[in-house]
A and B are shown apart, each in its own frame.
Chain A
Amino acid sequence: MNALADILFGGLFQGSLYAMMAVGLALVWTTIGVFNFSHGVLMMLGAYFAWQLVDWGLTAALAFPIAVLLMAGVGWVLQATVVRPLIGRANLVLVVVITTLAAGSLIENGVLELWGPRSKQIPPLVAGNAMLGGVGVSLHQIAIIVVTPIILLALWLFLNRTRLGLALRAVAQNEDAARLVGLNVTMLYGLAFAIAASLAALAGIFLGGYRFMTPVMGADPLLKALIVVVFGGISSISGPIFAAYLIGFFEAICSYYFGLYWTPALLFAALILTLMIKPEGIFASRSRGLA
């Protein structure tokens, strides 16, 4: 009925989801300087952990935080096995694309083996529905719209206003200099991946709460996250966050006026155009590092 409410809600919801998917990817890129191509698989694994815990009888309020914490551990191990040993290599970025893809495919097949291909669902963050400006929406979606900015803000404050966040931004820029001021390099690498994997798990829980889960559910979100990060500019964590909401609103407007069918094509046209005019991304300055 109400075009404005429809677009506003759709844009905020999609934007929040995209931001949650992309922010972990952006965090690892801006701090460690590699792209984690298992990020989508981590979303999936986080959702499956949550599902398993709920299936064992835990309440969602308990299961979700535990799943997020478990995924922090997975992120740490992933980093220690397929990223950290490669630091210092030439072509690091490409090598890590391959190792994280490999690790991701291993995890994906493990999940398929363990939990089977049948689709599953986890409980929503908040059950129930509401009417908003004449549009029927689920409370789960509203929860996502509310929770996401809080998490993003907390992450931004951590990175830009705390000394540990500063250390995280510094460590990969010069490992010797980092050690000489007393940074624990191993711990910081682990921390970057642990946070990123937790954020991925949260995105997975958001997704699994309103859509059926399968072992390959992370593939599309990874692609979306990559688009968001490249579009927003890979030099900062705030660029992708803004880009996520921009894309969310763009899609909401397109699908309202032109229909769902045309939206992906229009989005890619806009992306290509943007990158032709501003190759470093829409919100980016030229160098890596947070702003």
Chain B
Amino acid sequence: MMNMLSVTGLTAGYGRVTVLHGIGIEAGKHGNVGLFGPNGHGKTTLLRAVSGLLKPKAGSIVFDGADITGESARSIVARGLVHVPQGNTLFPDLTIADCMSLGAFSPHARPHEAANKERVAALFPKLAERWRQRVRTLSGGERQMVSIGVALMSHPKLLILDEPTLGLAPKIKDELCKAVLDISKAGVPLIVVEQDVEFLLELTNHLYFINHGQVETEIKPGDSLAHSDIMAMYFGQ
């Protein structure tokens, strides 16, 4: 089987500052991919480049057999590569239902709109109760659920989640983890950035440790690794 996503030699940054220095990752072959590493070392930047929010300076991104380097976010989402950004505030003045309709804006997602909506409602019963509530009045956890729900409405072939449980209380965090696991079990491969090592290990079996805008260590499925190894990487041996 081919890789669903191959990023090679990607260089990207903001203005004159380069954040990613020729980074490369593969996803979609061995199961879910996890990215981890210290704050501010380019995980979010990598994901933004992959989903077309940020134009890379060099390197290539191939998704589903097509070179998508430099494509607009709009055409990338239409290919089924869907990104839930870190700390997404969504559309504060719209209702949850409005956000879901927007999630299905891409032409490829329209035919699946009704089915995906049911899927979201089943996954997050809490949202289904408050379909007409405005996003600005939601709690952080609920907003994260809407964010993931919107992504599901876009009918993903590959789903990118950037710190889905950031800043959430344990109870709601567990709820979200369960939902994300369900999504993965339903057959959507994931790329996840997550600070919660527990959750990361439960969800993914192919890990990249990202440091200074590069992959410092790749842990392939089957490689033996322990919680403590990862903690050691985080804090520097």
Contacts and interface: CB of A to CB of B under 8 A. Distances in A.
Nearest to A289: B93
B106 A182 contact: yes
A174 B74 contact: no
A287 B91 CA distance: 12
A287 B135 CA distance: 12
Contacts of B89: 174, 177
Contacts of A179: 52-53, 72-74
Interface in A128-182: 163, 166-167, 169-170, 173-174, 176-182
Interface string B73-93: 110011000110100111111
Contact of A176 (B85, B103, B134, B154): B85
Question: A169, A170, A177, A290: which has the most chain B beta carbons within 10 Å?
Answer: A177
Given A177-B88, A180-B85, A182-B74, A288 B98 contact: no
Given A163-B105, A182-B74, A287 B93 contact: yes
A183 B77 CA distance: 10
B145 to A, nearest CB: 15
A178 B83 CA distance: 12
Question: B51, B72, B102, B136: which has the most chain A beta carbons within 10 Å?
Answer: B102
A40 to B, nearest CB: 27
B161 interface: no
Interface in A265-291: 287-290
23 contacts: A163-B102, A167-B102, A167-B105, A169-B93, A170-B102, A173-B91, A173-B92, A176-B53, A177-B90, A178-B91, A179-B52, A179-B53, A179-B74, A181-B106, A182-B73, A182-B74, A182-B105, A182-B106, A183-B105, A287-B93, A288-B93, A289-B92, A289-B94
Interface of A: 163, 166-167, 169-170, 173-174, 176-184, 287-290
